[in-house]
Amino acid sequence: MVAPLPQSVLFCCDHNAVRSPMAEAIMKKFYGTGTYVQSAGVKADMEIDGFSIAVCQEIDVELSRHRSRSFDQMEDWGDDLGSFDLIVALSPASQRRALDLTRFYHLEIAYWPIMDPTGLGETREAKLVNYRSARDQIIDHLHDRWGPPTVLT
């Protein structure tokens, strides 16, 4: 059963450089601006991954301007985790961190186990295959939760 779109969603993963930025950008592309969508990582010690940019460009999703940020940076910049309707953790570490940071809030935390494609594959094409797989896992979860895209540009 397809759920209604929430007012706000935060996607999180380990570094906010691969999975969570892909989920943020794809959700914005598929469902428009009616939902406030952001992403964060347990750490923000990496820049956006070039392979993530490449596989998102294949489906006309722009990622090159993304700047990684951590949960701590979000709070420092005034984003209150309690203001999100839903936090979607894409890695075990981000799920633990989200649960810890929101233990006093009444909000839903979903866990979508998206594989980490970094370090997989020897050649450029093999690496792209793994990044496409992670991207497609995210798309499948989006479709399962909120149905087919409502905005196609």
The whole-chain average pLDDT of the chain stands at 91
Contact 91, 13 (CB under 8 A): yes
Average pLDDT of the segment spanning 113-135: 93
- How far apart are the C-alpha atoms of 44 and 38, rounded to whole Å? 14
Please, what are the domains in the chain? Answer: 8-145 (3.40.50.2300)
pTM of the model: 0.92
Amino acid 93 reads: A
Name every residue whose Cβ is closer than 8 Å to that of residue 123 and which is 6 or more positions away in sequence.
none
Of the candidates 57, 35, 36, 41, the residue with the CA atom closest to the CA atom of residue 135: 57
Amino acid 58 reads: E
- How far apart are the C-alpha atoms of 119 and 140, rounded to whole Å? 23
List, for residues 62-117, the tens digit of each pLDDT value: 999 999 999 888 888 777 788 899 999 999 999 999 888 887 777 889 999 999 99
List, for residues 45-55, the tens digit of each pLDDT value: 778 999 999 99
E-strand spans in the chain?
8-13, 36-41, 86-89, 108-111
